[in-house]
Structure 1
Amino acid sequence: MPQFRKYKIPLLWLRRHTSTRNFILISSVLVGLTAGLAAVVLKTLVHYIQQLLAYGNRLLEEPVWLVVFPLVGILLVVFLVRVMFNGQLGRGTASILHSISQKSSMVEAHKMYSHVLTSGITAGFGGSAGLESPIVVTGSAIGSNFGREYHLNYRDRTLLLACGAAAGIAAVFNAPIAGVLFAIEVLLTDISISAFIPLIISAVVGALCSRIILREELLFFADQLGVFAASHVPFYILLGILTGLMSVYYSRAAWRIEALFEPFQDQPYRRALVGGVLLGLLIMLFPPLFGEGYGAVKLLESGKPEALLQDSWLSFFGTNEWLVLGFVGMLALVKVAATTFTIAGGGNGGNFAPSMFVGAHVGFFFSRLANMLQIHKLPEGSFTVVGMAGILSGVMHAPLTAVFLIAEISGGYTLMIPLMIVSATAFAMVKYFEPFSLDTKKLAQKGELLTANKDRTVLRIMQIRHLVETDFQPVRYSATLRELVEVIAHSRRNLYPVVDEQQKLRGIILLEDVREIMFKQEKYDKVLVTELMSAPPAVVRHNDTMAEVMKKFDETGAWNLPVLQGELYLGFVSKSSIFTKYRKLLIKTTGN
């Protein structure tokens, strides 16, 4: 702690002696550097785990390790999560979106390293999931905790959170533009021009970390891709439709497979065994499913699909071109199962890399089939690369990220028009069938998903427990008019809840309803409260969303509604207090 304090003091001085804008720019450099280094650590961890296991030739000789390694990885992750993180890890970009909307962009400190450790083990041992979502969580946690440490407000803390995510994506792919666009499309629902500069700085710094330390080459090379021709446009449109439909299949299949694991929610080790064994069996049948799968994608892009069968049992049947094509198509279909088995079983990873894997196989399958049937001569490398953008756009609901990511990792923008065609077509198709992305569907169902609509965003940040007013004087259910008058005399409100001995709400009394009778003293001991009370126009539950609360206000026309937990009375929420809180949050979140 003293050592950390030594490094913190200069930044505290800067925080006090520089403008907020300049401090954010400095912070974006530090957040980008830290997130970029985290990405380097993650990729290095995966590399050395795989080197240690030496899964290459040994797995070919001993296929049983295809089952054992992924299972061991998932079990190890489940053990670490339970022992080190109390069973709470919070996977995927959905956990970050939840933190933005429900926790004022406060991300747990352990996520700055927990996702690097658990996803590295998962992928290193052969889990069929991507590293991109974990590094997004890691970078977001770094940005969030930096903002919290230096007492930044919600808006600036959210911006640094997005800077960390942008740097993480940029470092993983060496793609700074894609990192910026991912942060804007997925995390930031409302952005001003001034926010672009910190995002760009963080993304560039993160990409430089990866490029300088790891010295990685581009994932694909533009000189291996075919030249775009106008005659290919109809086929790219068809590929967009196909990848859109495959994206719908991907999302729905993932949801249904994940639902099969719900009976094991309270049995993490049994869940890990089921997921690990199923994953291992799939990998035995389809060895390219081992790990992230970028090696398989490179083989397709370079025109060597027959190499995918090298470790497969199908290699005994030779490398017939129809057999190879069928194997490629099957890989596209079963990858979603392998990824869901990995994540639902307890491993840590995301759907970013798997969606690119599926897209590459769909693109190759489509173009190779057209060439084999002599429908039209299509460049298979180009369709392989562009197909990745289609599935990525459809599954993640991030078409701009998909377009520029694939353009950056292929080392050129020669395929920009096909990328736009396929991404836009796929996105339009998916939006019709699935309004929300795979990662955000649960949040949307709970009403916790941020949108570009400022009003909805602010309402989702507001929570009912912060708005409950408890200064309404309760009246006993068995009280008389005399006791009611006494309560009214000592109250500043014109609304009185009626509760019984167990503090359960039995009704309400409005001052205007008893104004006439309360001056008739001869009735003080004859009239009971039960004769004067009425049912509230509606009740608010303590866990209602603000959208549900506002709907009840609109339907009843009331200005105050009681808040209950079960049947217990907690207080009232008023429309005026909601409006006041709304105005404050609107200023806080938008700066307007």
Structure 2
Amino acid sequence: MPETKGKKFTRFITKAFRRLERLLFLVKSLISPRQFIYLSCVLVGISSALAVIVLKTFAHWVYKFAQYIDGFLHLPYSNSAFPIIGILLTIFIVKKVLDGELHKGTAQIMNAVARKNGILPRKQMYSQIITSSFTVGMGGSAGLESPITITGAAFGSNFAQNYRLSYKDRTLLLACGVAAGIAAAFNAPIAGVLFAIEVVLVEISITAFIPIMISAATGALVSAIVLNEDILLNFKQGEVFDYHNIPYYILLGILSGFVSINYARTFRSIEKWFHKRKSSYKKGLFGAFLLAVLIFFFPTLFGEGYESIKILANNNPERILENTLLSGFKDNRWVLLVFVGITMLAKVYATGLTLGSGGNGGNFAPSLFVGSYLGFVFAKFLNLVGIDRDISVSNFTLVGMAGILSGLFHAPLTSIFLIAEITGGYNLMVPLMIVSSISFAITKRFESHAFDIKDLADKGEVFTDNRDKNMLNSIEVSKLITTDIKSIRESNSLEELIEVLKTTSQILIPVLDENQQLIGIIRLNEIRPIILSPFQVKHTSVKEIIRPPKEIILYDETADTMMDKFENSQTTLLPVLKEGKFLGFISKYHILEEYRKKLISMTIE
């Protein structure tokens, strides 16, 4: 049977990749490890940029197509139906192609670094691209940046695995992929570097900056060459910063902090509500229908929403009311203000419905959307009530994005430099610093972790800003449990206990019942005088020498919690229980030794 063109092309691509792989293995053997890392970060940067190009281009085409359908069919608001199709398609792909499993959010990147030695599954290199393309491209009210960062991280992680690089290099390339993704998505290489450092890496040395910077620069360069400028979020103009407006920027920072807190808590509530529902298609249809209703009334909730941000920042905000039920009130500034304010508050519900019902995307773009709308509403309100008629609404629209981004993701440096880069200059550096730092300080006071990793952080499954806790929580304590333990029953005699002691070097003997549940502990140093006396051996029962354990370790506890128990009990050996049954003992010294090894291996140089 003759070979089809599709099969020939697939075979050609496979051969090309295998040749490239053999070439890279050859290059690796000829150059130094550091030089190979530099080469690797360029290749990871290119891969991440290409993923960005695919995602952004597809989303942009679908957005334009939806607008065309509106105009061609003369059916107002027909684009409300697109998100329903997109979310249901995403659910179908997850169930039929991805084995029913799709991990969302940047939290999994931190989890991979903290708990999985920087390893991300190979399917993350394509699953995020496919699913988020359908969800966001078809109008789901979410962002593409989270899928982009996961894809970039997966490219870096799998590249390192394929070429047998160490944990340090694997984590470094993972961060390079993240940096390149953000840099390519916004043509903002500095923001990409800072995001990788603020959000992904816990510890980093100066020398690790170089590969990350190379990767971010590569991603931004490829994006700038290939992507149409209209697809990217950028602003060519920006009004001059007026220092007289500093009090207003302080107020905007405070508002940003509390809006961020409300966004985080509302989103988590919506997500938890959907998580309790089991039927994926019914859940998807229900959530997508509610989203379609929201988009019907507030069309700018369609997709990422970057087009509407540009409209607000470019001093022609009345265009926001086009193709809405209020299009006849375009010249009424108060109607516009109320509409923008309600849309801002509705965005978290739209994003929660999109992601909770089964779509894929992130909260990076929604945070910029909410921030720009907040800045616009705040400045426009001051303008309309006459408090300050000369205030720059455009500047506040731009600076507001940094406030919400900083508050939600706890990444003030990323927020500052991202907005500075996409506005084409650093005229707004002072207000960006004011708003971002105030918003971050407020949200940090009420939300100790960035909202997308809060659940994992509460379980001790991701890194926090506590270095010791980071290292301890990365230890796989299950491998440190000594399970080959001699035990006795409460009904045994002391003579039988002595026979057990002859065959073991244990200093603690667990006493178990018939169900393997722990009754108590016998400590060798306490019973030594008794077992050396034949009289006491004969007249003392096991029950009399049993002592309760000073602390009990549960199998699923983190090393950080275990160390607290060791400290409280002032002992170096504690029993471990799993589902109520005795499993073995764990030693404080074993944990500390593993901590020392981890500390050495996780310092990225």
Q: Distance in 1 between matches of 2:73 and 2:323?
A: 6
Q: Which one of the candidate residues 237, 251, 268 is aligned to 1:238?
A: 251
Q: Distance in 2 between matches of 1:261 and 1:59?
A: 36
Indicate conservation of the 8 Å contact 2:235/2:310, yes or no.
Answer: no
Change (3 A) 1:525 1:74: farther
Q: Distance in 1 between matches of 2:368 and 2:111?
A: 25
Indicate conservation of the 8 Å contact 1:67/1:276, yes or no.
Answer: no
Q: Distance in 2 between matches of 1:50 and 1:303?
A: 22
Q: Equivalent residue for 1:219?
A: 233
Give, in angstroms, the shift of residue 474 of structure 1. Answer: 2.1
TM-score, normalised via structure 1 length: 0.95
Q: Equivalent residue for 2:556?
A: 543
Deviates more, 1:325-334 or 1:45-54: 45-54
Aligned: 1:348 with 2:360: yes
Aligned: 1:180 with 2:197: no
RMSD over aligned CA atoms reads 2.1
Q: Distance in 1 between matches of 2:568 and 2:29?
A: 49
Is the partner of 2:326 in helix, strand or coil? helix
Is the partner of 1:22 in helix, strand or coil? helix
Change (3 A) 1:4 1:534: farther
1:348-392 Cα shifts (integer Å, max 9, x gaps):
111111111111111111222222222221111111111111111
Give, in angstroms, the shift of residue 116 of structure 1. Answer: 0.6
Deviates more, 1:125-134 or 1:429-438: 429-438
Indicate conservation of the 8 Å contact 2:330/2:336, yes or no.
Answer: no
Unaligned runs of 5+ in 2: 1-13
Q: Equivalent residue for 1:415?
A: 428
Give, in angstroms, the shift of residue 580 of structure 1. Answer: 1.0
What does 1:306-321 align with in structure 2 at a 5 Å threshold? 306-317=318-329, 319-321=331-333
Q: Which one of the candidate residues 500, 510, 527 is aligned to 2:523?
A: 510
Q: Distance in 2 between matches of 1:318 and 1:205?
A: 43
Change (3 A) 1:220 1:379: farther
Q: Equivalent residue for 1:461?
A: 474
Q: Equivalent residue for 2:337?
A: 325
Q: Distance in 2 between matches of 1:255 and 1:285?
A: 24
Change (3 A) 1:115 1:426: same
What is the one-letter code of the residue matched to 1:324?
A: L
What is the one-letter code of the residue matched to 1:88?
A: E
Q: Equivalent residue for 2:24?
A: 11
Give, in angstroms, the shift of residue 258 of structure 1. Answer: 2.2
Structure 1 runs of 4+ off > 6 angstroms? none
Deviates more, 1:90-99 or 1:4-13: 4-13
Change (3 A) 1:62 1:270: same
Q: Distance in 2 between matches of 1:58 and 1:546?
A: 61
Percent identical: 47
Aligned: 1:114 with 2:127: yes
Is the partner of 2:211 in helix, strand or coil? helix
Q: Which one of the candidate residues 82, 95, 106 is aligned to 1:69?
A: 82
Q: Which one of the candidate residues 349, 370, 378 is aligned to 1:337?
A: 349
Q: Which one of the candidate residues 150, 153, 158 is aligned to 2:166?
A: 153
Give, in angstroms, the shift of residue 52 of structure 1. Answer: 5.1
Q: Equivalent residue for 2:379?
A: 367
Change (3 A) 1:418 1:318: closer
Indicate conservation of the 8 Å contact 2:63/2:303, yes or no.
Answer: no
Q: Distance in 1 between matches of 2:67 and 2:382?
A: 38
What does 1:75-94 align with in structure 2 at a 5 Å threshold? 75-94=88-107
Aligned: 1:428 with 2:441: yes
Indicate conservation of the 8 Å contact 2:205/2:604, yes or no.
Answer: no
Q: Which one of the candidate residues 191, 196, 202 is aligned to 1:189?
A: 202
Aligned: 1:24 with 2:24: no
Give, in angstroms, the shift of residue 238 of structure 1. Answer: 1.8
Give, in angstroms, the shift of residue 453 of structure 1. Answer: 3.3
Change (3 A) 1:91 1:59: farther
Indicate conservation of the 8 Å contact 1:478/1:500, yes or no.
Answer: no
Deviates more, 1:454-463 or 1:56-65: 56-65
Indicate conservation of the 8 Å contact 2:70/2:77, yes or no.
Answer: no
Is the partner of 1:503 in helix, strand or coil? coil
Q: Which one of the candidate residues 567, 573, 586 is aligned to 1:554?
A: 567
Unaligned runs of 5+ in 1: none
Q: Distance in 1 between matches of 2:267 and 2:251?
A: 24
Indicate conservation of the 8 Å contact 1:397/1:437, yes or no.
Answer: yes
Q: Equivalent residue for 2:504?
A: 491
Q: Which one of the candidate residues 11, 25, 47 is aligned to 2:60?
A: 47
Q: Distance in 2 between matches of 1:294 and 1:591?
A: 36
